[in-house]
C-alpha cells in the first residue's frame, strides 16, 4: 500500500498550532482514540479560553476535522460537554465539521472527493492515492458573547473592588 499526503498539517488553532495531536490514523484502537479525543478537546478549550476576549463568554467553538485523523465528532462532543461547565461554561457548544477528503489517484489520474476515509481509488481500486488533505484539526472560529448591554456585570472585578462603597471617594 502506497500513499502520499501533504506534510503534517494537524494544528489545533487559528494557524497557531498548539500541539500536534500526533499522527492518528484510521486504525487507532477505540480506547486510544477516546483518550486522544479527550486531550484534543482539552487543548481546544484551552485555546478558546486564550483567544476569547477578556470578559466575554464563548458560545460556540467551531472546529474542522479531517477524515484521516480518525477523530470521532461524537466523542469530541461528549468530552466537550463533560469539560465545558468548569471551563467555558454550560452555554458553550462545540461545532464540529468534517472536511471531505480530496485527492488524486496516481494510477488512473482521476481526482476524487470522498465523504469517508478511503485508501484505494474509488474508480480503479488501486491503492495509489495522493491526498490533499485529511489530517486537519483546526479551531476555525469562536462565537463569543462579549458582554453587551444585556450583561451589566463589570468586566473587570478589580475595578469593581476599587469602587467598593464605603471607601473614600478619592478624587
Ligand atoms: Zn484510480
**With respect to CATH, is domain 8-99+134-145 assigned 3.40.50.2300?**
no
How far, in Å, is the centroid of ligand 1 from the Cα of 121?
5
Per-residue pLDDT tens over the stretch 40-78: 999 999 999 999 998 899 999 999 999 999 899 999 999
Residues of the chain with pLDDT > 70: what percent?
A: 65
Helices (H), the chain: 30-51, 73-84, 157-162
3-class secondary structure, 2: strand
What is the pLDDT, as a whole number, of residue 146? 79
Cross-strand bridge partners of residue 114:
101
pLDDT band at 149 (very low <50, low <70, confident <90, very high): low
CA 151 to chain CA centroid, nearest Å: 28
Q: What is the per-residue pLDDT across 118-146, written as a single tens digit (0 to 9) for each?
A: 999 999 999 999 999 999 999 999 999 87
CA distance 146 to 154: 12
Give me the residue label for grid cell 462579549.
146
* 36 pLDDT tier (thresholds 50, 70, 90): confident
CA of 8 to the centre of ligand 1 (A): 24
CA of 69 to the centre of ligand 1 (A): 23
Residue 7 has pLDDT above 50, yes or no: no
Q: How far is the CA of 102 from the centre of ligand 1 (A)?
A: 13
Buried b (16+ CB within 10 A) or exposed e, 55-91: eebbbbbbbbbbbbbbbbeebbbbbbeebbeeebeee
Cα of 72 to ligand 1 centre, how many Å?
28
Amino acid at each position: 500500500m502506497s500513499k502520499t499526503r501533504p506534510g503534517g498539517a494537524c494544528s489545533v488553532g487559528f494557524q497557531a498550532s498548539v500541539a500536534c495531536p500526533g499522527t492518528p490514523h484510521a486504525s487507532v484502537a477505540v480506547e486510544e482514540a477516546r483518550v486522544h479525543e479527550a486531550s484534543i478537546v482539552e487543548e481546544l478549550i484551552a485555546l478558546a479560553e486564550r483567544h476569547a476576549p477578556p470578559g466575554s463568554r464563548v458560545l460556540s467553538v467551531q472546529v474542522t476535522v479531517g477524515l484521516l485523523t480518525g477523530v470521532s465528532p461524537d466523542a469530541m462532543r461528549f468530552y466537550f460537554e463533560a469539560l465545558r461547565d468548569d471551563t467555558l461554561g454550560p452555554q458553550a457548544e462545540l461545532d464540529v465539521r468534517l472536511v471531505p477528503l480530496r485527492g488524486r489517484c496516481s494510477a488512473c489520474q482521476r481526482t476524487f472527493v470522498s465523504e469517508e476515509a478511503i485508501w484505494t481509488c474509488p474508480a480503479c481500486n488501486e491503492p495509489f492515492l495522493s491526498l490533499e488533505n485529511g489530517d486537519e484539526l483546526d479551531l476555525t472560529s469562536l462565537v463569543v458573547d462579549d458582554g453587551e448591554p444585556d450583561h451589566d456585570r463589570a468586566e473587570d472585578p478589580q475595578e469593581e473592588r476599587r469602587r467598593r462603597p464605603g471607601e473614600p471617594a478619592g478624587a
